[in-house]
Amino acid sequence: MKEEGLAAAKILAVLQRSLKDDMTFTSGRIMGSMCTEPTRFARLLYSKYLERNLGDPGLFPATARLESEAIVSAGELLNHPNAHGSIVSGGTEANIMALWSARNETKIEKPEAIVPASVHHSFNKAADMLGIKLISVPTDERGRVQASRVKAAITANTVMIAGIAGTTELGAIDPINELSEIAASHEIHLHIDASFGGFVIPFLNDLGYPAEDFDFKLSGVSSIAIDPHKMGMAPVPAGMILFREVEMLERIDIKASYLAGGEYSKVSILGTRPGAAAIVVWATMQMLGKQGYRKIVRKCMSLTNLLYENALKMENIQPVQEPMLNILGLKTLHESPQEVSDKLRERGWAVSTFPRHLRVCVMPHLRKRHILEFSSELERLDQKEELIVKPISKIRYSLL
Ligand code: 0PR
């Protein structure tokens, strides 16, 4: 740190230069992120309430009340208005809290949690922190966990089963109803990671897309992670954890009674927490209502299907499968996903790269023209690769 500070104008100029390399959502080139462009209203509110700290709710009881109201709204969306929970920093914190609560419920010495092979790496973080062994269960050809294998993996040490409503890799939705039955009959905590799908799946049936039950409507579901900062349209950081019963939250409630307003009203891993994030989550849900979210989901799903249809026509780049949510996996038949991803990046597009496919998240910042431009870019790559790669593939096939 320098001895003397800089003038604001100078700092602004430096920032303008040094942040130039960051991508923007408005460019329509961010194709692999689960986050999106904050609304203007959200920007305004966020800066207005910057000093609100939910780590000391006695100072900001009104903000704390809004947090509770936002949890009720999310609970209503997920078929349990009496759910208990908190606004947290994202899906990672929500998943850690769920695993923490499930572990504390039992006195098992060597706790295990059964998770789909497609689970987000936040579960690995949680398991490492909490001393829990993860038992990974394979998924089927559509990327959904195999419920029979989950059942077979249960032991006396199982403290939790996890299901995913919108996998990180493909946006697949696990057979949550089957998992619910298994969890209920074995009295095991079933946690649903709906970090991505939580603000999408509730609207699919209305829009004519197939969607099975995934939430508290199923009696075996004990907790749900749902992220306002993904399809909930709120800025980062904003996740939510909801528990079916208050005791599930109380098990991980570590009190701090010296604060201005008495004890913490909410349970979280963080101490100091951004009240502005909670206010914006509340306001965004108020502003959009179910109608607003449904409209967003309609647009994202129709653009996802447009991209899917376009990719079907290609030769070397192909959809992994029909999308279940607004996430599309793309296989690259003659090059590694990394090679294709690098080429796309050179041309200004950012997609996510998994070992066997590319992932496109068709988020609300993307418009039809972006999908069409991206499709054309893929087509150009597809054709070019065909020219270069075909002779090699012919040799490969002739060797078979
Ligand atoms: N659960 C699932 C199913 C997720 O996909 C993610 C994040 C999490 C939990 C964890 O959520 P937080 O990141 O909020 O803690 N998945 C995104 C992904 O891996 C995270 C992300 C978001 C990555 C925006 C990049 C990006 O630009 O794609």
For 288, counting Cβ atoms within 10 Å of its Cβ (0-12 exposed, 13-18 middle, 19+ buried), the class is: middle
Of 31, 121, 168, the residue with max ligand 1 atoms within 8 A of its CB, to mutate for a pocket test, comes to 168
How many Å apart are CA 70 and CA 46, to the nearest integer? 16
Nearest CA to ligand 1 atom 10: 91
Q: Left (φ > 0), alpha (ψ -120 to 50) or beta: where does 233 sit? A: left
Nearest CA to ligand 1 atom 11: 91
Residue 165: strand pairing partners: 173
For 143, counting Cβ atoms within 10 Å of its Cβ (0-12 exposed, 13-18 middle, 19+ buried), the class is: buried
Task: Give, in order, the Cα–Cα distances in Å from 377 to each of 237, 346, 397.
Answer: 32, 11, 28
Ligand 1 atom with least separation from CA of 236: 14
Q: CA 209, 212, 213 angle in degrees (round to 5)?
A: 130
How many Å apart are CA 146 and CA 140, to the nearest integer? 6
> What domains appear along the chain, each with residue ranges and CATH number?
10-38+290-382 (3.90.1150.10), 41-287 (3.40.640.10)
Nearest CA to ligand 1 atom 4: 168
Ligand 1 atom with least separation from CA of 119: 3
pTM for the predicted model, two decimal places:
0.95
Measured in Å, residue 3 CA sits from the centre of ligand 1 at: 39
Question: Which contiguous run of DSSP H or E holds residue 15?
Answer: helix 8-18
Nearest CA to ligand 1 atom 5: 168
Tens place of pLDDT per residue across the chain (400 aa): 999 999 999 999 999 999 999 999 999 999 999 999 999 999 999 999 999 999 999 999 999 999 999 999 999 999 999 999 999 999 999 999 999 999 999 989 999 999 999 999 999 999 999 999 999 999 999 999 999 999 999 999 999 999 999 999 999 999 999 999 999 999 999 999 999 999 999 999 999 999 999 999 999 999 999 999 999 999 999 999 999 999 999 999 988 888 877 666 678 999 999 999 999 999 999 999 999 999 999 999 999 999 999 999 999 999 999 999 999 999 999 899 999 999 999 999 999 999 999 999 999 999 999 999 999 999 999 986 544 544 444 434 333 3
Task: Give, in order, the Cα–Cα distances in Å from 176 to each of 87, 112, 138, 301, 326.
Answer: 24, 20, 15, 21, 19
Measured in Å, residue 230 CA sits from the centre of ligand 1 at: 8
How many Å apart are CA 273 and CA 109, to the nearest integer? 32
Measured in Å, residue 229 CA sits from the centre of ligand 1 at: 10
How many Å apart are CA 116 and CA 133, to the nearest integer? 13
Q: CA 293, 200, 153 angle in degrees (round to 5)?
A: 160
Q: CA 175, 307, 146 angle in degrees (round to 5)?
A: 15
Structure tokens at 339: 């090679």
Q: List % helix, strand, coil for the chain (3-state, nearest 5).
A: 45, 15, 40
Ligand 1 atom with least separation from CA of 92: 15
Ligand 1: residues within 6 Å at CB?
33-35, 90-92, 95, 120, 122, 164, 166, 168, 193, 195-196, 227, 239, 352
Nearest CA to ligand 1 atom 27: 33
